[in-house]
Amino acid sequence: MANPVGVSLLGAGNIGSAVVSALARGADRYAARVGRPLELRRVLVRDTQRARAGIEPSQVTGDIDDVLRDEGTHVVVEVMGGEEPARAYMEAALRSGRHVVTANKEVIAKHGAALLQVANDHGVRLLFEASVGGGIPVIAPLSRDLLANEVTAVTAIINGTTNYMLTAMTQRGADYAEVLAEAQRLGYAEPDPTADVEGIDAAYKIAVLCGLAFNVDVAPADVARQGISTVTARDIAYALQLGHVIKLLARARFADGEVEATVRPTLIGVQEPLAKVDGVLNAVQVEGDLVGRVLFEGPGAGQGPTTSSILADVLDVAQDVAGSRTPLPFIPRRQVRVRPPEEHSSRAYLRIGVRDEPGVLARIAAALGDAGVSIASVIQFDPEVTGGEEGTAELVLTTHRAPGAALARALEQIRQMDAVTEIGNVLPMEG
């Protein structure tokens, strides 16, 4: 029998244990695809005394050096999560001449460019399909299948928790607090949901996709971010009246040598493909000069989908170890300017609370016009609809495309008006 390709794991939680189980179940199939069998070598864990299914006690260690000193380990799979020590362990593994496969979106978003350079310097590979979109094969297509294209835009729904919540709000008219509690009961949302509902998780993922789609290095902190916690049942209802649904969209565009990246609740026309991606599903839409627009859709998280992506990467790199495939050449990341939000241009949805008195709309329209923002439509909702006090109203305005700076100037002027009780929400619109 040919010498096996040795695989060691960093972490043996839900995902790690699923990887171990899948390696055992698919042993014959994987050996046939790679040309050599895959062998589980070492498993790094915090609690070395705990018994784990499919893992021999002799394979368990609490010391990263046991993994790095193991001459039979060719591939290290990191499924620990968190930034440190996962980043340090991955770098050490790469420097030791091991290929690394990871699902860690935070590490790849923050340190991916540096780790890819380390991998190239040491003649090994860093693969991270599972870091974005769970079971959706999007990183490999961007790296290989769409390589002939100049990719100009990526638009994605890449957080299952928020997509589940916004879908429930749309389909049932439920409030944010109600659907958040429901998502937590079902295990879709963490006890502390901040990373999901404030768009942090999605910002990590779109930063990763910028590297793959445009070959540029975008820090998560440079992604303009707005979460869904401000979205109300009324926003959802008003959007539907306008022929739109609200989704948390992660978007990136590359033009004129600059990149812009955002994560924001966005109004999308109900007939658009992304508008129909519901529940915990994820989707990534890529636009290229040759292929046009393509959409990848599927489960975005969970044991099965994540394990599928991890093992796809393991099999990919195992073929390198076995000498049965030639990897693509390394291309260093480009350093480009990331446009700040005030330079982004889009249509906008505005929900503004006002006192119902003559001339209010005219003053708001004047403020928008003075800033160079053109109104596309206006609808007024009275207290019978809004549940507000008598003598108040809610204006829902949509605008034509305008720069972020112009809209911000207009909103600052509107906010100072005596007749304006609140600026309830400001969301971008597709189109």
* d(C-alpha 254, C-alpha 339), whole Å: 10
Number of residues that this document lists for the chain: 431
Closest by CA to 167, choosing from 301, 267, 275, 262, is 275
3-state SS assignment for residue 335: coil
Per-residue pLDDT 10s for the chain (431 aa) are 579 999 999 999 999 999 999 999 999 999 998 999 999 999 999 999 999 999 999 999 999 999 999 999 999 999 999 999 999 999 999 999 999 999 999 999 999 999 999 999 999 999 998 888 766 778 778 877 787 889 999 999 999 999 999 999 999 999 999 999 999 999 889 999 999 999 999 999 999 999 989 999 999 999 999 999 999 999 999 999 999 999 999 999 999 999 999 999 999 999 999 999 999 999 999 999 998 999 999 876 667 878 888 998 899 899 888 876 666 677 788 889 999 999 999 999 999 999 999 999 999 999 999 999 999 999 999 988 888 889 999 999 999 999 999 999 999 999 999 999 999 999 999 97
| pLDDT for residue 187 | 87
- Per-residue model confidence (pLDDT) at position 260: 97
pLDDT at site 37: 96
Contact assessment for residue 246 and residue 166, using Cβ atoms and an 8 Å cutoff: yes
* Domains of the chain, CATH where assigned: 5-134+303-322 (3.40.50.720), 139-300 (3.30.360.10), 342-429 (3.30.70.260)
Instruction: Using the Cα atoms of residue 160, residue 14, residue 129 and residue 90 in order, give the sign of their dihedral.
Output: positive
Contact 246, 267 (CB under 8 A): yes
Q: What angle (nearest 5°) sits at the alpha carbon of residue 242, between those of residues 240 and 247?
A: 55
Catalytic residue among 105, 110, 205, 247: 205
How many other CB atoms sit within 10 Å of the CB of residue 336?
17
Token look-up 């093992």 returns 311
Model pLDDT, residue 320: 87
Per the annotation, the verdict on 205 as an active-site residue is yes
Per-residue pLDDT, 324? 61
Residue-level pLDDT at 407: 98
